[in-house]
Structure 1
């Protein structure tokens, strides 16, 4: 499996490349956004690890550019920014996942495995709720107003909600099912993905919405 690492901190980049190669990944390194776009145009990659803060072109610009070009490569964002709005912006731009610095190499490898594994999973049964259709084979959420492709964890959250319409799903259950029992990820990450999904439901003019029950969880409900 071949990965592209776009990270301008060269010491960190060298350490990450070493770790990736020791874990049987083929990995190339670039140090600015322009180089990242050039490599993505001329090579096929199974995943992109993309730092947000880079010279020449920042990571968000790179992400928006490749998505506009129709490049579906899974993208894991690396960022020193911890504010929720920054995370949501990255997810809305087409990232599959994000990791906030500093991070452990074990977590990075787990995120890469999840990101690339889910890229290859195909299923034949679509889910339908209201005017929405969720295709597990393509991660596409569709309505008569259009189609969007969901990020990995967005898909898993939406799948849980559509499989349990009207039922309250606790934040803890999302964490256990999607991030795992041993995850050290802050529980607020669920809200980040819910916020991103709500924006996409609005854009699709969905006849259902994600309702929040304070200190309890979320449910998928028909629009009143």
Structure 2
């Protein structure tokens, strides 16, 4: 999983980074709410951990802004305030879970591991964007005609489609597509992306993938800017 941590206390942010990386996850740190919004807008995350009390832009404001922009990433709010009203406010703003400071880092890591297991077991339904329908379970793309995908192509495209207009690093696509970077490199990814672009073009999908061989890669629509729900 890739995780965003928004925490302005440098020592605590560093502890969280170390703990999360020890779980085998990757992590980005934001030291204020505006940086968190910027990172979440540019990159794909599986989980965001947002402290409510942050400079420049507080966690609740950042969360509301992200939700209004259509970002539905799982969010855990961190707050030093234990009152029920603050918890309710966070959940109403779009948080999925919360932890009250001081909290147990071990408990937070357990929650992240649980989310990771849940994500691996969860199968999404069809995804629609522009004139394209992608069914990950059937490994099929449908536009004017249809085409089948391989397992690796399916995993790579699923991440790109879930994060349109976001630049996804090659390392993240390798981790998802091959489940381990040991057996694949950027050349393998480039070949897979090239095949995906060819298949999208072959069925006249109004969607393509941009990026150089070393990445990052971005999925964009090629006709208008409308995304179907």
Normalised by the size of structure 2, how large is the TM-score? 0.51
Are 2:109 and 1:109 aligned? Answer: yes
Tell me, yes or no, if the aligned pair for 1:74 and 1:119 is still in contact at 8 Å.
no
1:87 aligned partner: 87
Q: How far apart are 1:111 and its partner, in Å? A: 1.9
Change beyond 3 A, Cα 1:41–1:99: same
Query: Aligned partners of 2:124, 2:23: CA distance in 1, in Å?
Result: 28
Quote the residue 1:6 is aligned against.
6
User: Against the structure 1 CA distance between its residues 123 and 30, is the aligned structure 2 distance closer, same or farther, given a 3 Å change threshold?
Assistant: closer
State the partner residue of 2:158. Answer: none
Equivalenced residues, count: 124
The aligned residue for residue 145 of structure 1 is none
TM-score (ref. length: structure 1): 0.52
Cα RMSD after superposing both structures? 1.7
2:57 maps to 57
Q: Distance in 1 between matches of 2:86 and 2:116?
A: 23
Task: Render the CA deviation track for 1:196-219: whole Å, top value 9, x for unaligned.
Answer: xxxxxxxxxxxxxxxxxxxxxxxx
Partner of 1:36: 36
Secondary structure at 1:112 match in 2? helix
Quote the Cα distance in structure 2 between the aligned partners of 1:86 and 1:40: 23
Measure the CA separation in 2 of the matches of 1:56 and 1:47.
22
**SS in structure 2 at match of 1:3:** strand
Query: Is the contact between residue 3 and residue 45 of structure 1 (CA under 8 Å) also seen in structure 2?
Result: yes
Can you give the 5+ residue segments of structure 2 that lack an aligned partner in the other structure?
126-229
The corresponding residue for 1:158 is none
> In structure 1, how many angstroms separate the alpha carbons of the residues matched to 2:95 and 2:115?
10
Q: Name stretches of at least 5 consecutive residues in structure 1 with no aligned partner.
A: 125-224
Give 1:24 shift. 0.5
Higher radius of gyration, 1 or 2:
2
**Which residue of structure 1 lines up, in the alignment, with residue 97 of structure 2?**
97
What is the rounded CA distance, in whole Å, between the counterparts of 2:45 and 2:124 in structure 1?
A: 23
Give the drift of 1:28.
Answer: 0.7
Say if 1:15 and 1:123 are closer, same or farther in 2 by CA, change over 3 A.
Answer: closer
Change (3 A) 1:66 1:119: farther
Measured after TM superposition, the shift of residue 119 of structure 1 is: 5.1
Partners of 2:65 and 2:115 in 1: CA distance: 20
